[in-house]
Amino acid sequence: MALHQLTSFTLGVPNAGETAAYYREFGLTDEGDGWFASRDGGRQLHLVTAPTRRLIELRIGVDNSDDLARAASRLGVLGVEAAADPAAGTLTTCDQTTRVQVVLQVTPRLEQPAAGSTPYNGPGRTERAGTRAPGILRAGQVSPRKLGHVVIGSTDFDATTAFFRDGLGLQASDYIKDAGAFLRCSTDHHNVLVLRAPVVFPHHSSWQVDDIDEIGRGAHAMLAGRPERHVWGLGRHHAGSNFFYYLKDPSGTFSEYYSDMDCVPEDQVWTPEIFEGARGLFAWGPPPPPSFLHPDDLTALMAGLHSR
């Protein structure tokens, strides 16, 4: 695969100061210039001020300039323009429906240091003897390892999916029937999820943590005294298999802690499935609240769109 990483995204929000404080608390490092870094992935979130919340840019790492040329050719077949900058090693294009700018950039591959496996006791299996579980002994703030995926609602689901899949070259991992496309540009099950929506909006970003205990510890800390941040969790998704917990930032955009996502090696065949009903959303956990698929501000976002 030529594409190898979802490198970063730029999120426009009307309340950048408040939102920045949220992502510091979420465990990202504030670099002081609008950028926020994860532990392994570096600078991966760029917060800027915008009239309403919107996904402004995604950056995707590729191996070399041939990959940029292939993407430009595929986009050309779709009738989508792309601007190459050979000196910068980039190809810049834009999804016509969502107006999200996507920059493919020649970038070294992310080599994550392997986190040691968490010892769990089970029937006839003692991995942890004579000590309490790491999940209750850990102290300090949860620190996301890397950006996993970004989810965008599109008013033209087919066109936006075609842009990312057929134009940019992301691979399809699974679909939610007529309503969702899980696409990958790395060995993660999904890095971009396109959702059918009545208005273009950023649904969520998702951040990898070490294990399920880190999801629980992170959510617990974020919810202390701030129950309004709760969106949905704890649960395990069917598509991608990951454990999840969703929280809401002050702009109304969701942020997810995840662990244990399905991995698809580049040389391995993975047959996408089409999920319907609950399996499109989750394998187990509390039922998703209606505001998960239709966030509370969608009507206001649609009104804003129509008044412009």
- Shortest approach of Fe ion to residue 240 CB, angstroms? 8
- For residue 102, what are its two tokens? 């996507």
Stretch of 33-41, 100-108, 138-146, 252-260 contacting Fe ion, by CB under 5 A: 252-260
Strand bridging mode 35-38 / 42-49? antiparallel
- Of residues 10-29, which lie at the interface with Fe ion (CB under 5 A)? none
Distance (Å, whole) CA 158 – CA 178: 9
Q: Are 64 and 106 in contact (CB under 8 A)?
A: yes
Q: How far is the CB of 203 from Fe ion (least distance, A)?
A: 8
208 binds Fe ion per the rule CB under 5 A: no
Is residue 241 within 8 A of residue 162, CB to CB? The reply is no
Q: What is the DSSP letter of 277?
A: G
Q: How far is the CB of 241 from Fe ion (least distance, A)?
A: 12
Tell me if 262 contacts Fe ion by CB under 5 A. Answer: no
Residue 154 binds Fe ion, judged by CB under 5 A = no
Determine the 3-state secondary structure of 217 from DSSP: helix
DSSP conformation letters of 29-51: EE-SSSEEEETTTEEEEEEEE-S
Distance of CA 29 to the CA centre of its chain: 17
Name the residue type at position 232. Answer: W
Q: CA 121, CA 89: separation in Å to the nearest integer?
A: 49
CB of 204 to Fe ion, least distance (A): 6
| C-alpha span between 272 and 188 (Å, rounded) | 14
For residue 97, state whether it binds Fe ion (rule: CB under 5 A): no
* Closer of 44 and 90 to Fe ion (Cβ): 44
- State which residue has the least CB distance to Fe ion: 206
Check: CB of residue 28 under 8 Å from CB of residue 22.
no
Interface residue with Fe ion, options 44, 105, 206, 259 (CB under 5 A): 206
CB of 242 to Fe ion, least distance (A): 7
The reply to whether 8 sits near Fe ion by the rule CB under 5 A is no
CA distance 277 to 180: 12
**Least CB distance to Fe ion at residue 205 (A):** 8
For Fe ion, which residue of 25, 256, 262, 297 counts as binding (CB under 5 A)? 256
> Does the footprint of Fe ion cover residue 188 (CB under 5 A)?
no
Q: Which is nearer to Fe ion, 28 or 75 (CB)?
A: 28
Angle at 258 between CA 253 and CA 264, to 5 degrees: 115
Does 174 participate in binding Fe ion (rule CB under 5 A)? Answer: no
Segment interacting with Fe ion, rule: CB under 5 A, options 36-44, 106-114, 204-212, 218-226: 204-212
Among 64-72, 85-93, 177-185, 254-262, which window interacts with Fe ion (CB under 5 A)?
Answer: 254-262
Q: Which residues bind Fe ion (CB under 5 A)?
A: 206, 256
